[in-house]
Amino acid sequence: MKPGVAIIIAILLALGSGASAEQVPPVPVPKVETVPPTLPANPEPDQRGTEQSPLVVKIAPRPDNGQKESPATWWLTTDQWLALFTGLLVLVGLLQLKVFSAQARQLRRTVDSFLAGERPYIFPSVPITTEFLPGGAHSRYPTAPGAPVPQIGLHFANVGRTPAVIKTARAEIAIGKLPKRPAFKYSQEYRGDIIARPDKQTDIITFGFSRNLTIDEINHIGGGTTPIFVFGYVKYTDNFDYLHTKGFCFHIQLGSKGGAALAGGRAYNYRTAEKTPVEFAT
């Protein structure tokens, strides 16, 4: 062996024996204490869900950090669109109802105007008083048995454009004073089916008083100091299934100044119309 190699080996052996003689202290390992977990007093439910319990997700409210929310968009929800659409439908319905009501009123006026132009109109003629005072042999003894009662005759003229059928008529003779309202106690109702043609007048219909006049009444009537009134009504049907009632009243004067004039106002001179009742339908 060469002297240089031996020297190197000797040095290495010396270093190795020195390193083995020096001891390295061990590194301490920290002790970890095991602490069992503690559960809260009100444990939160398991939010992971099971087969029996669906998954529950809680959304925490957004914290108010002092910032203003962004302005709402113009878009409406489905419920708001539905409410708006319903309101528009109601508004359109009300407008249509108003238009239909106006059209119905106009149609009604048109129909009434047509009927008014085509229906008959019955008016009484000037009263005929030739048989009001007893004449002939009865003029000397007007209260004797068999003396005729006072009578007044009336024509009824149709000035309308369609025929009418007179169903009933009544006239009352009032001597001295006219009641405020028509009061019938000395006459009876006349019933029949008299056809009144357009622009024609009927034959005379005579209405009698239920008692004879006294001598004083005849003298006052003849002298013009006691007024005489004849009032009543006539009922007639038309081609449009309506029953019309025409009221009338005349103030009569006998003698040289004889004549007749309308009297009584609206209480006596009136006109009404109604659907023909069953009793006048035939």
**pLDDT, tens only, 129-144:** 888 888 888 888 888 8
Cα(230)–Cα(51) distance, rounded to whole angstroms? 104
Q: Is residue 13 part of a domain?
A: no
Task: With cut-offs at 50, 70 and 90, classify the pLDDT of residue 19.
Answer: very low
Domain region containing 148: 122-280
What is the token pair recorded at 252?
């009569």
Report the first-to-last Cα separation within the chain, whole angstroms: 168
pLDDT digits (tens, 9 = 90+) for 86-114: 999 999 999 989 898 888 888 888 777 77
With CA atoms as reference, report the closest residue to 249 among 234, 235, 232, 266: 232
pLDDT in tens, 130-181: 888 888 888 888 888 888 888 999 999 999 999 999 999 999 988 888 988 9
Whether the model clears a pTM of 0.75, i.e. scores above it, the answer is no
In-domain check, residue 55: no
250, 226 Cβ separation under 8 angstroms:
no
How many CB atoms are closer than 10 A to CB 228?
23
Question: 171 in a domain, yes or no?
Answer: yes
Residues β-bridged to residue 194: 166
Give a yes or no: residue 201 inside a domain: yes
Residue 130 inside a domain? The answer is yes
Residues in CB range of 78: below 8 A, 6 or more apart: none
Summarize pLDDT for 234-263 with one digit per residue, the tens. Answer: 999 999 999 999 999 999 988 666 688 999
What pLDDT does 121 receive? Answer: 94
Local confidence band at 25 (pLDDT 50, 70, 90 cut-offs): low
- Is 29 a domain residue? no
Q: Say what the pLDDT of residue 208 is.
A: 86
Question: What pLDDT is stored for residue 227 in this prediction?
Answer: 85
Structural domain count of the chain: 1
In a domain, 84, yes or no: no
74 within a domain of the structure (yes/no): no
